Chains A and B, each alone.
Chain A
């Protein structure tokens, strides 16, 4: 079992938790050492996985999932601990590793209870990694919930502002989503094999059996898509996101917006669409309408906010809406764009939240009306903020451009009037994004200094620089060399497209 490399993505965070458990609460250095070592190992492991994955693909291994392994868990119900990755999951693992790594440095001086903070943080990352390596929907769901619950304590204990309210709202809404999701998954399980066959939770087998009847598919599709859509901040279930992000501590916002919201998109893609293709063809329009609204609505809401974190949270609603929107276009180009957007948004939002955390730590306000001219005071942070902003509004050379371009190219392939209207509306959001990003940059970084106390502030420290540089390098890397990502994921769409096309017949 431990010979499988994927298992280590779960084992290492568990070791991390055990290591933290041994540290004393006061020995900050030991805690940091455990975190840095483990998150570096995870990052290295994910890079190695990606390289090895590409090598295998190069050699012509064209199985749908690589590194598969399956171990019986709850035998009476045929529940396995089944793992396997395709190109998309490899990239998601890498994204998570990068953000856990950057998040560790971003919460270098967390206070109070550093040990407990990192324990829950490690539990959260266990859930995230476990989710991306699983191909058994039971284990996938379990890891999904493992990733959700630490949020409550992370926001509640270490957050700011109305943290109790926000933490409760976020937890209950996400858990409410997962209740629907679970019902959907149970339905999928009990229809996963033709009459008399061995029922299974394994994604590959369910898709191969293709035995779910149309009327069940329709219902289960709604359950699963809504379930994951809540986490993907789909309108009208997005209201947890602004409050939750605004109150969360920096590293948690990073991990949550950067990775956790991707669980939603990934789940919609891997379970709702892949396993229920007929329903996806039939009912995609409902969710196109909803995600279309989240894209435009999120962008407009961001324009009028004055709290930096709220601006960014609404911008996340808009960008994550774009991920789900692109997935629902049901063609390869748009889906490629969706994956790129997940990566791009993950890195860029993580960078944003890290920077906001750093600025807030100095100025003790997040209200853009009370700040100004920060570029003169802390040029390093100012430049980073601008880079993140440009990535967000889609400047060529950074990751946002590649992703959004691909999404809109792909979306325009659907030539009917309904799709056209929504795609055009969604495209408009780029302009609105530019409005709110430039508004913030103008008020916050440029112009006169609003508060003379700010003149005494210092620029970024070494660990802050380290965390931001990592993220910026990745953003620029995707923006300049999107091709290797394309190569990594290109095999992944064939089975899903085949399922959709055969269902459409």
Chain B
């Protein structure tokens, strides 16, 4: 075996290295040393993130064509890393709490393992590796969801999560076994693409694709596969909820794009365009309509993130280079905006234990800065300029209308009307904080330094990276420079 092939796996090696170091530190340090675990991991991870941003991706197919790290996957990994870094920062206070402190090593290790799995998911060019990535991304998450040992909600959420995760994997595997039948005994993406391109359309293929969509749809919580989302988001510790809502979603969305465009691109309009079309409409609309009635902020964010996933998938239905670039950019913006909102939610939860939207009434009187940050995050999620959310939405809409298809034009209309609905419920939060005349229920407090840094990072992302097109250009160049997606232009 040629060990130099591992040289192509730089991001995976970095995450694995950090994992090993954290593990060793956690195992061999004494009580005193454990205090430094959090800054140690966070700083190490920050450095790793910078390394992944800066190191070039070689784009070589290694391990017999099973794995590739090209510019697209590298860009996604860098974006996910930023998200995880922010999650680490905002959870720094929570992991020091009495209940969690003794297990904080596990928290970091499990997150790093899931991140590693997500890396494999997007870099896989063979379904076996893809499944390995998917499983190692979802099983440790169940342990993380159950992290609040003493809360039964947390356990309930973990059971729900693991059941749906296993169930969806089973469905996905069933779909893949049909695909295997088509490809004549190969699970390489390239082989599958060729054999499907040559073969005839059949009911079996449609069923296979429906199963694959359902399987990945569970991870992305697309409607009608979303039923676990709200309960799990509500029950899980807030740090894990924010991790679940952005990181695993982003990875699954890009994996979806890669699989469907690379393997099943030739049957786009016959087989999966209309399925995805229906799923997107349902996802955006149902997510929005359910979010309106939510009073618990975590459930609220759950439904909001369902509908956001629908917008992310617009990039997949566009199935062109612009779509992929806009999707990456959307994920970045979604990461900073959603984590910004979660940073506020978790700070308030830690300092006052309040989670209901009614508790936010009159928040600006006691915590003007938090209210301001939350307002920006809400505006960005709703797609209001000059914040980044506006640009990510308009760019993804542009890529969809660029296909020239009449049906997709109408899809954009539906998505646009849905942004108005979403604006309504995002404004409800703003209304509670700024307009509601009631006396504030949350006292004034000073949040922890680390969560303030996390919040500032998110705000910087929200405010600057719409006006400054650097990230979009980075994503676009990534798609343009990646050999495997060149055909999309």
Contacts and interface: CB of A to CB of B under 8 A. Distances in A.
B379 A182 contact: no
Contacts of B397: 182, 186
Interface in B424-443: 424, 427, 430-431, 434-435
A183 B390 CA distance: 14
A408 B416 CA distance: 38
A153 interface: yes
A129 to B, nearest CB: 13
Contacts of B390: 142, 145
Interface of A: 73-77, 113, 138, 141-143, 145-146, 149, 152-153, 156-157, 163-164, 167-168, 171-172, 175-176, 179-180, 182-183, 186-187, 189-190
Nearest to B418: A179
Contacts of B473: 74-76
Contacts of B394: 138, 141, 182
B335 to A, nearest CB: 20
Contacts of B434: 153, 156-157
Contacts of B325: 76
Given A74-B395, A146-B385, A153 B419 contact: no
A141 B394 CA distance: 10
B386 A186 contact: no
B138 to A, nearest CB: 34
B39 interface: no
A149 B376 CA distance: 12
Given A74-B472, A153-B435, A182-B394, 10 more contacts: A76-B472, A77-B322, A77-B398, A164-B431, A164-B435, A167-B435, A176-B417, A179-B413, A187-B401, A190-B401
B421 to A, nearest CB: 9
B204 interface: no
B20 interface: no
A186 B398 contact: yes
B197 interface: no
A157 B427 CA distance: 13
B33 interface: no
Nearest to A167: B435
Most buried by B among A76, A143, A168, A190: A76
A228 B395 CA distance: 21
Contacts of A76: 322, 325, 472-473, 476
A176 B420 contact: yes
B435 A157 contact: yes
Contacts, number: 83
Given A157-B434, A190-B402, A183 B416 contact: yes
Interface string B350-388: 000000000000001000000000000001000011100
Interface in B239-261: none
A360 B325 CA distance: 54
A189 B401 CA distance: 10
B199 interface: no
A285 B427 CA distance: 37
B423 interface: yes
A-B complex: 9 closest residue pairs judged by Cβ atoms: A179-B416, A156-B435, A186-B401, A76-B476, A142-B385, A145-B385, A149-B384, A74-B469, A176-B420
Contact of B423 (A138, A172, A186): A172
Nearest to B477: A76
B423 A183 contact: no
A156 B397 CA distance: 30
A239 to B, nearest CB: 15
Nearest to B384: A149
A175 B385 CA distance: 12
B37 interface: no
Contacts of B180: none
Given A146-B386, A186-B398, A189-B398, A172 B424 contact: yes
Interface of B: 322, 325, 364, 379, 384-386, 390-391, 394-395, 397-398, 401-402, 404, 409, 412-413, 416-417, 419-420, 423-424, 427, 430-431, 434-435, 469, 472-473, 476
A156 B431 contact: yes
Contact of B420 (A143, A146, A175): A175
B413 A183 contact: yes
Nearest to B469: A74
A213 B38 CA distance: 61
A234 to B, nearest CB: 18
18 contacts: A74-B395, A76-B476, A77-B395, A77-B398, A113-B364, A143-B385, A145-B385, A149-B385, A152-B427, A176-B417, A179-B416, A179-B417, A183-B409, A183-B416, A186-B397, A186-B398, A186-B412, A189-B398
Contacts of B395: 74, 77
A157 B473 CA distance: 38
Contacts of A145: 384-385, 390
Contacts of B472: 74, 76
B469 to A, nearest CB: 5
A182 B423 contact: no
A219 to B, nearest CB: 9
A163 B435 contact: yes
Most buried by B among A143, A146, A164, A182: A182
A75 B476 CA distance: 10
Contacts of B412: 183, 186
B394 to A, nearest CB: 7
Contacts of B386: 142, 146
A143 B385 CA distance: 8
Contacts of A74: 391, 395, 469, 472-473
A372 to B, nearest CB: 33
A153 B472 CA distance: 30
A168 B424 contact: yes
Nearest to B400: A186
A267 B419 CA distance: 22
A148 to B, nearest CB: 8
B469 A152 contact: no
A73 B402 CA distance: 19
B420 A172 contact: yes
Contacts of A143: 385
Which interface residue of A146, A157, A179, A189 has the most chain B CB atoms within 10 A? A179
Nearest to A156: B435
A485 B431 CA distance: 43
Contacts of B469: 73-75
A68 B364 CA distance: 43
B409 A179 contact: no
Nearest to A223: B413
A162 to B, nearest CB: 12
Contacts of B404: 190
A152 B426 CA distance: 12
Contacts of B401: 183, 186-187, 189-190
Contacts of B409: 183, 187
A76 B322 CA distance: 8
Contacts of B435: 153, 156-157, 163-164, 167
Contacts of B364: 113
Contacts of A172: 420, 423-424
A156 to B, nearest CB: 4
A153 B398 contact: no
